[in-house]
Amino acid sequence: MRLDKYLKVSRLIKRRTVANEACDAGRVLLNDKVARASAEVKAGDIITIAFGNKETRVRVLNVQESIRKEDADNMYEYVTG
């Protein structure tokens, strides 16, 4: 699945256009490399998102095309360090 779509489906970022803009600005890293919106995401990948001065790191647990809002947080787990 594309990175921008994954960010939207998992609800890490609310809109796909915002996810796309974040990738274009270089604020999204996939496995510690700057990622384009079209990058493929698979289980086990580490995604780092820079929101201003705050940074969020998550590990991808599973990839699904669509998921209920209540179950979206089961797609990833937060990583520290």
| Interatomic CA distance for residues 67 and 81, integer angstroms | 28
Domains by residue range for the chain, with CATH: 3-78 (3.10.290.10)
Q: Could you tell me if 9 and 60 are in contact, meaning their C-beta atoms sit under 8 angstroms apart?
A: no
Q: Could you tell me if 75 and 60 are in contact, meaning their C-beta atoms sit under 8 angstroms apart?
A: yes
- Average pLDDT over every residue of 3-9: 96
Q: What confidence tens digit (pLDDT) does each residue in 11-49 have? A: 999 999 999 999 999 999 999 999 999 999 999 999 999
Predicted TM-score (pTM) of the model is 0.92
Q: What does the CA dihedral 26, 31, 32, 36 come to, rounded to 10 degrees? A: -20
CA atoms within 13 A on the CB side of 68: 2
Give how far the C-alpha of residue 36 lies from the chain's centroid of Cα atoms, to the nearest Å: 11
